[in-house]
Amino acid sequence: MPENLGAGSLAPTQDERTMATLAHALQLIVSWIGPLVIFLMRRDSRFVSFHALQALLLQIVQVIVIVVFFVGWFILMFTTLFASGAGRPPANPPVGLFLVFPLLWLLLMGTWITVFILVIVYAVKANRGEWAEYPVLGKFARKLLKIGPGGSIQSS
């Protein structure tokens, strides 16, 4: 049983802990769809909806980072094409392309590794019945769901 529950909160049942764990773990397989389905199916459970919403918000942030990556990549590619000029014969690729591509690739890989680690850590915490918050996203999820520490109902 979890030890650090807030006043007025109930310990999550085994079923709630399993669903919250699945909300985190399914991100690795089906991205945002798994947490969304669990969030919509288990709205009655504050514990499950809190963990599923955090997982969903994490996937939204990951999609935004990936979109920024690809937009940056396409801007770099088109800038390189237009800078070389249409009337001239093709020249060697610019050095900047070889400097920026690894940085963009590291950003993308860093995002995936960070999400992978967060998913594993918070799936384990959800399975233990903890009201663990993702950095930044956890507080936002609490505000959206109007949930206080330990699952208590937050008064406005």
- 3-state class of 131 per DSSP? coil
Domain annotation covers residue 4:
no
Range 38-66 average pLDDT = 92
Domain annotation covers residue 136:
yes
In this structure, of 49-63, 69-83, 88-102, the range with the lowest mean pLDDT score is 88-102
Domain annotation covers residue 117:
yes
Domain annotation covers residue 8:
no
* Cβ 12 vs Cβ 129: under 8 Å: yes
| Nearest Cα to Cα of residue 51 among 41, 62, 63, 64 | 41
Q: Which percentage of the chain shows pLDDT scores above 90?
A: 42
Beta bridge mates, 147: 153
Provide the token pair at 63. 């999609």
Tell me the pLDDT of the chain averaged across its residues.
83
pLDDT for res 94: 67
Range 78-85 average pLDDT = 71
pLDDT for res 138: 86
153 compared with 9, residue with greater pLDDT? 153
Q: Which domain holds residue 129?
A: 14-151
* Cβ 81 vs Cβ 36: under 8 Å: no
Whether 1 has a pLDDT exceeding 80, the answer reads: no
pLDDT digit string, tens, across residues 99-122: 777 888 888 899 899 999 999 999
Domain annotation covers residue 130:
yes
Domain annotation covers residue 5:
no
Tokens 């985190």 found at: 24
pLDDT grade, residue 37 (50/70/90)? very high
pLDDT for res 80: 73
pLDDT digit string, tens, across residues 7-29: 445 789 999 999 999 999 999 99
Domain count for the chain? 1
| DSSP state, residue 88 | S
Domain annotation covers residue 65:
yes
pLDDT digit string, tens, across residues 123-133: 999 999 999 99
Domain annotation covers residue 9:
no
